[in-house]
Amino acid sequence: MCVPGTLETVRAQIEAEEPPDVDVDVPRLSRRTALLAGAATALGTAIPGRALAGSAGRSGMRLADLTHVFSEDFPLFPGAPPTSRTTAVTVQADGFYAQQWTLSEHACTHMDAPAHFVAGGRTTPQLRLSELVAPVVVIDIARRAAGDPDTVVTPNDLRAFERRYGRIPRNAVVCMHSGWQARIGSTESYRNADAQQVMHFPGFGKAAVEWLLTRRSIRGIGVDTLSLDPGNSKTFDSHVTVLKANRYGIENLRGLKAIPARGATIYLGLIPWRGGSGGPCRAFAAW
């Protein structure tokens, strides 16, 4: 989601509040966790994205890529500046190859930092490394979303998840799997707008985000759609709620069905843009 500043209702909600306390609770990383993070990061750099899914290292660790390929034709939220790329130099002409990109911080698989909606909120360089490694759980609403694109994750979904899989861990990233990635080949299908240009795709309901923040002290939320909120939202309550709580959101994830519902760890390779309100990130899971 890219253009909240154009919506007066959202601006009024945010400007009425004081900047958040940036001293969030961040767990200490054990030596084992740090070593695993280092190994996974090295693997994420060395192994092409498609090869990550379902692969196993010597220790039996499995990896799944949760990131779409960044491209100039990736569907964007309406109003976002278009993505473009050009070839800057070539091996044949210049001895080396490089591209030049023009892009929004909120294109393709990306993170929303608190500053995206909160005046004085934390920017990407202010997010601690330990916040970018977290337990991940997947709430599967794909069957319901297939019949109702306006459906949202609810507290009942979260309670049902815990009855089946156990308690959602503290400091987890809670992700919605709606099956929406199947539409990624078409901007029209991915946005799913009606004749009045109202979009229809799933997201998190505000009540579910509040439940996760107050009862489970989550690190953030993630979705396999264009926005943390459902497509028909005009107030972006889930964005406002999670970012004002000094947490983050991740949009346009993929491959969530391929990872365990509970028990995996998510790694978020976020570039610390100066003053960044978020940015494209390489997201992958290990278990």
- Residue 281: which of 131, 168, 81, 118 has the closest Cα? 131
Span 216-234, mean pLDDT? 98
- The residue written with tokens 């091996």 in the block is 91
Task: Tell me the per-residue pLDDT of 128-183, one tens digit each, with 9 for 90 and over.
Answer: 999 999 999 999 999 999 999 999 999 999 999 999 999 999 999 999 999 999 99
Q: What is the identity of the amino acid at 48? A: P
- The residue written with tokens 């997947």 in the block is 138
Residue 24 pLDDT more than 80?
no
The band of 47, judged by pLDDT with boundaries at 50, 70 and 90, is very low
Rounded to an integer, what distance in angstroms lies between the CA atom of residue 184 and that of residue 172?
Answer: 26
Rounded to an integer, what distance in angstroms lies between the CA atom of residue 102 and that of residue 109?
Answer: 16
Token pair recorded at residue 253: 């994830």
Total Cβ atoms within 10 A of residue 189: 14
Report pLDDT for 248. Answer: 98
Find out whether 242 and 228 touch, Cβ atoms under 8 Å: yes
Report pLDDT for 29. Answer: 44
- State which fold the 4-286 domain adopts: Glucose Oxidase; domain 1 (3.50.30)
Rounded to an integer, what distance in angstroms lies between the CA atom of residue 243 and that of residue 258?
Answer: 27
The band of 60, judged by pLDDT with boundaries at 50, 70 and 90, is confident
The band of 39, judged by pLDDT with boundaries at 50, 70 and 90, is very low
The distance from CA 114 to its chain's CA centroid, rounded to whole angstroms, is 13
